Amino acid sequence: MALRFYNTLSGQKEKFEPVEDGVAKIYLCGPTVYDYLHIGNFRGPITFNLLRNWLEFSGYKVDFIYNYTDVDDKIIKRAQEENVEAVKISEKYIEEFEKDFNRLGLKKHEHNPKVTEYMPQIIQFVADLVEKKKAYVVDGEVFYSIDSFPGYGKLSKKNLDELEAGNRVEVDERKKNPFDFVLWKPSKENEPSWISPWGAGRPGWHIECSAMIQSIFGKKTFDIHGGGIDLIFPHHENEIAQGEGRIGQTYCKYWIHNNFINLSNQKMSKSLGNVVKARDFMNEYHPEVLKYLFLSAHYRSMLSVDKEKINQVIVALQRIYSALELAHDVVEKVAEKNEPEAGFKKVLDGLSNKIKKALDDDLNSAEFISLVFEAVRAYNALGFKNKKWNAVHAGNSQAFLNWMKVYGQMSALFQEKPKEMLNQLQEILIRERKIDVLEVEKLLKLRNQARDEKNWKEADKFRDELLDMGVEVHDGSERGWTVKV
């Protein structure tokens, strides 16, 4: 089956056929840099990181733009509050964003343009639209005339008459149509401003993405535009109007939108005060927990995040990393390795085929994760319990590690050092379940004494007590005890 994506523009899954053979040009709307980003802001970067990796895995050369919006009302407001220049705010939060991004271990984008670096191109874009009579100037302000673009509404499937009837549109006498939007506006006092043919001012929001895209990818159709579903209207709808208004051909072929996340079934929003910064989440849990959490749901479905789900992720990661730890141990301790057994190799190859099918089918990452689990189960089922490992075990373990490495790199998961990762996951569980470690150690000591005295009844009593605390004892293993899952 060929690679297919759900295209918001057509409302169905479509075969991916890029403009240029073997090349995928992707643009994802980036953050407005006026504050730390919350976890929801990273669903896009994490999803599109998998998308780009899967495209590369499938043989495409990827060219990816992820921009920084560094001119915006929110930035200006924050700068005024803190009595600094706007650029101080945007620079600070770009730096902070990059710290978060790097912790997630996602692949760097080929381009991270800033709006302020593209001002001449933005002004040229607006001038082109004015010249083509797609835009008009009133008192130093430039508006896009949506009546000049018959395709307006095709992405969001909005009917403007209905919209107008249903919403109270702010009346602006200067506009020809209430839905005409601003391309350029005069700056107020103390706001950043740039010289333009229409006077000193700054761009409206929508124009920047189109301008950066056509500056970097050229004035022609490109392949994939991404963003959260909240951007479909008006932002992306307006981008199409601008882009096609300027070049007279399709702006972008495939529109891919990721859904929101909910926190405990509530929309995460500043006004509700339930915003979780990505940084805090990563400190409290682990970057891997966030990535796994997001990829374990399909990007088009609403993902509800709560304690229980986070717990499930931790337990899942423990299972996966335990298998990786075991495989590393076996490979390390057995010098000779056979080729992997035919049966196990067949299982892994079969799962690779299924992964291709799943990701080719609109990037079904949830299915991908469950297939990784199947590989873990198949590996564990090979039988390593008695620790009498031989060259067969080592060969299978090596094959499992190789397989996991391929899909780990592809998904930006499963690449931490297993022992360290397991220790960290354990610490999270101890904290989450409020387990008193000192008490655990005390009971373990008492149990060992009882065992030394061959007082089995007493020893079992302590084991049960530990179990009641949520602790499982593992005799003869390096990990003397684990949090029961």
Which residues sit at the interface with Zn ion, rule CB under 5 A? 29, 209
- Min CB(214)–Zn ion separation in Å: 13
Contacts of 227 by beta carbon, 8 Å cutoff, 6+ apart = 28, 29, 44, 235, 236, 257, 258
Exposure of 166 by Cβ count < 10 A (0-12 exposed, 13-18 middle, 19+ buried)? exposed
Nearer to Zn ion, 240 or 330 (CB): 240
- Min CB(153)–Zn ion separation in Å: 18
- Min CB(259)–Zn ion separation in Å: 17
- Min CB(29)–Zn ion separation in Å: 3
| Spatial contact of 129 and 135, defined as CB atoms under 8 Å apart | yes
Give the Cβ contact number of residue 164 at 10 Å: 13
Nearer to Zn ion, 202 or 337 (CB): 202
- Min CB(155)–Zn ion separation in Å: 13
Nearer to Zn ion, 55 or 209 (CB): 209
Nearer to Zn ion, 29 or 65 (CB): 29
- Min CB(225)–Zn ion separation in Å: 8
Residues facing residue 14 across a β-bridge: 5
Q: How far apart are CA 101 and CA 226, in angstroms?
A: 18
The alpha carbon dihedral of 82, 88, 93, 96 has a sign of negative
Q: How far apart are CA 36 and CA 42, in angstroms?
A: 11
Instruction: With CA atoms as reference, report the closest residue to 365 among 449, 297, 269.
Output: 297
Nearer to Zn ion, 241 or 355 (CB): 241
Nearer to Zn ion, 213 or 295 (CB): 213
- Min CB(205)–Zn ion separation in Å: 8
Instruction: With CA atoms as reference, report the closest residue to 72 among 80, 82, 64.
Output: 80
Nearer to Zn ion, 29 or 378 (CB): 29
Q: How far apart are CA 50 and CA 339, in angstroms?
A: 31
- Min CB(235)–Zn ion separation in Å: 6
Nearer to Zn ion, 110 or 374 (CB): 110
